[in-house]
């Protein structure tokens, strides 16, 4: 594998349950206008959502590939049903790379090129070696890793690609229980797609009103959006090859352009932060995990 000479910008899978037409148009615009080299496509949180977007998957893949973007099919973060395993088999047979977000997916994809997603915790060199031996060609590191650990892992196994999320709400956990359904007085089997009511997740506050998390179906996300700018420059020098933007309900084309210009040395970090806040005034920026602190550190607009 020939590793990229300049940092690559990727768009991670959409965590939220948007209307199918909105998702289709979102990805069409990403294909036509966003300066990202790779787009992760697929349901990660809840397989009950998949049928709604399924009629558009083929045309979205074709549009993205025609625009010169690599398409990666993401797996569920927790597979529990036979139909979910069959869906993964279809993805594996598509000819596209698959992002494995569950160890069960790694078992199925063994000996084929695949990407290890951030829901599989790769915390040390031994885990990297074990996954590489099974066919992993890129590893997307979990949000909780700090900068020192990432530097060590970036220097290890230089033949494989390494990816870190530098923008967007950070995925923290996935549960068997659906918080979104419960918050709306429903159970998981009769959720009536409660998660669709919150296109950027449902805010969760502490007892004193402090925003802590965002709930998205069975998924827990950080409330704040990670923002790693100068940190991304350091990681690129250390060997991180790909930087991920997590889709939010905002202008992601403009967001991608800001990060691409920054990675190319055409803008300053302060300009990117100010511009992101102008695009979405509700954003609060965090970088706690990278700094080796509590993940929500930096909550609010960093000065």
Distance CA 243, CA 234 (A): 12
For residue 68, tell me if it sits in a domain: yes
Mean per-residue pLDDT for 280-300? 88
Does 6 score more than 90 pLDDT?
no
Q: Could you read off the pLDDT of 204-220 as tens digits, one per residue?
A: 998 898 899 999 999 99
Q: What is the pLDDT of residue 112?
A: 87
What does the angle CA 254 – CA 260 – CA 261 come to, to the nearest 5 degrees?
90
Least confident of 43-47, 67-71, 95-99, 298-302: 298-302
Mean per-residue pLDDT for 40-56? 95
Q: What is the pLDDT of residue 3?
A: 62
Is 36:256 a contact under the CB 8 Å cutoff?
yes
Distance CA 5, CA 256 (A): 19
Q: What is the pLDDT of residue 303?
A: 35
pTM of the model: 0.95
Domain that holds residue 18: 8-171+222-286
Q: What is the pLDDT of residue 272?
A: 97
In the chain the first and final C-alpha atoms are separated, in Å, by 41
Q: What is the pLDDT of residue 302?
A: 37
Q: Could you read off the pLDDT of 222-266 as tens digits, one per residue?
A: 999 999 999 999 999 999 999 999 999 999 999 999 999 999 999
Domain tally for the chain? 1
For residue 128, tell me if it sits in a domain: yes
For residue 257, tell me if it sits in a domain: yes
Q: Length of the chain in residues, anyone?
A: 303
Q: What is the pLDDT of residue 301?
A: 41
Mean pLDDT (the chain, rounded): 93
For residue 46, tell me if it sits in a domain: yes
CATH code of the domain in which 63 resides: 3.20.20.70
For residue 118, tell me if it sits in a domain: yes
For residue 82, tell me if it sits in a domain: yes
For residue 187, tell me if it sits in a domain: no
CA distances from 129 to 85, 124, 134, 221 (A): 25, 9, 9, 28
For residue 57, tell me if it sits in a domain: yes
Render the burial of 211-239: b for 16+ CB within 10 Å, e for the rest. bebbbbbbbbbbbbbbbbbebbeebbeeb
What does the angle CA 192 – CA 196 – CA 198 come to, to the nearest 5 degrees?
130
- 139 strand-pairing partners: 116, 162
């Amino acid at each position: 594998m020939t590793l990229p000479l300049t940092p690559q910008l990727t768009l991670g899978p959409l965590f939220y349950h948007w209307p199918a037409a909105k998702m289709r148009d979102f990805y069409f615009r990403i294909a036509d206008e966003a300066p990202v080299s790779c787009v992760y496509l697929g349901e990660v949180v809840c397989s009950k959502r998949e049928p709604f977007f399924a009629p558009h998957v083929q045309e979205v893949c074709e549009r993205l590939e025609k625009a010169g973007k690599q398409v990666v099919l993401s797996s569920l973060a927790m597979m529990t049903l036979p139909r979910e395993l069959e869906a993964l088999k279809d993805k594996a047979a598509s000819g596209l790379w698959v992002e494995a977000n569950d160890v069960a997916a790694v078992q199925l994809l063994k000996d084929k090129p695949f990407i290890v997603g951030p829901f599989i915790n790769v915390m040390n060199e031994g885990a990297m070696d074990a996954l590489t031996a099974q066919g992993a060609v890129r590893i997307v590191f979990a949000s909780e890793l700090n900068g020192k650990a990432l530097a060590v892992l970036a220097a290890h196994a230089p033949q494989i690609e390494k990816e870190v999320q530098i923008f967007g709400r950070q995925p923290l956990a996935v549960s068997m229980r659906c918080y979104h359904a419960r918050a709306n007085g429903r159970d998981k089997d009769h959720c009536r797609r409660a998660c669709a009511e919150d296109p950027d997740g449902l805010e969760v506050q502490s007892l004193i009103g402090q925003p802590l998390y965002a709930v998205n179906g069975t998924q827990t996300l950080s409330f704040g959006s990670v923002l790693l700018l100068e940190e991304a420059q350091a990681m690129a020098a250390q060997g991180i090859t790909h930087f991920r933007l997590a889709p939010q309900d905002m202008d992601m084309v403009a967001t991608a352009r800001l990060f691409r210009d920054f990675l190319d040395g055409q803008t300053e970090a302060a300009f990117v932060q100010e511009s992101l806040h102008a695009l979405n005034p509700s954003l609060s920026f965090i970088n706690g995990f990278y700094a080796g602190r509590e993940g929500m550190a930096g909550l609010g607009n960093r000065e």
